[in-house]
Chains A and B, each alone.
Chain A
Amino acid sequence: GAVVSQHPSWVICKSGTSVKIECRSLDFQATTMFWYRQFPKQSLMLMATSNEGSKATYEQGVEKDKFLINHASLTLSTLTVTSAHPEDSSFYICSARDTGHYGYTFGSGTRLTVV
């Protein structure tokens, strides 16, 4: 079945530094990937839709300059949290759709802790 590999699975960084999270579709091409953020015991909130070869579409209230998304190829999308602060600490998870599968396949998520 479709597999989406997300790395790193967890990361601790200092306040003010930037962190890059990668999402790769391993056995299918993903023209569109989605990035979500999830706080403890809450739902997944869609942050942005990442389109291969074009600019990402951000949801209302999501800072474009803070959360940089790059979808440079059909199998790779990256989310960079720039100048991270403790309030950016969260669980970030990506997803993509394999056209041969009804459901969207999710990465395993990244737990970001900013200290």
Chain B
Amino acid sequence: AQKITQTQPGMFVQEKEAVTLDCTYDTSDQSYGLFWYKQPSSGEMIFLIYQGSYDEQNATEGRYSLNFQKARKSANLVISASQLGDSAMYFCATGNQFYFGTGTSLTVIP
């Protein structure tokens, strides 16, 4: 099984600032996808962004971007212009069966 590591259990960011959430992975697959999901307190899982391992450019979706460094096996999520509604758990995931990292709890401070 793939192994996903998120080393930041909790993060704080000032409203309107940018924040980077770390994710490293370990896989022997040649082709794979990396996903980030947001989980607010309600429990729902909200898809944020996807990066394919063969994509040459870093993925972007609105205020979300992915800093993908294939050689280092890292796929960090960058949230720009943080908003209070961004406070939630964030999970990195990969693999055909979709294994998740341990998650990072993000709190946006007014």
- Chain A positions near chain B (C-beta within 8 angstroms): 34, 36, 38, 41-46, 49, 91, 93, 95, 102-106, 108-109, 111
Contacts and interface: CB of A to CB of B under 8 A. Distances in A.
B103 A43 contact: yes
Nearest to B44: A108
B5 to A, nearest CB: 11
7 contacts: A34-B98, A43-B102, A49-B97, A95-B45, A102-B47, A106-B37, A108-B43
B87 to A, nearest CB: 14
A95 B43 contact: no
A36 B100 CA distance: 10
B35 A44 contact: no
Contact of A43 (B33, B44, B50, B100): B100
Contacts of B43: 38, 91, 93, 108-109, 111
A88 B100 CA distance: 20
Contacts of B42: 108
A9 to B, nearest CB: 9
A104 B101 contact: no
A44 B33 contact: no
A13 to B, nearest CB: 19
Nearest to B50: A102
A40 B24 CA distance: 23
Contacts of A41: 105
Which are the 4 A-B pairs with shortest beta-carbon distances?
A: A103-B47, A106-B45, A102-B50, A109-B43
A95 B91 CA distance: 15
B99 interface: yes
B97 A104 contact: no
Interface in B4-38: 33, 35, 37
Contacts of B105: 41
B44 A102 contact: no
Contacts of A95: 45, 98
Nearest to B105: A41
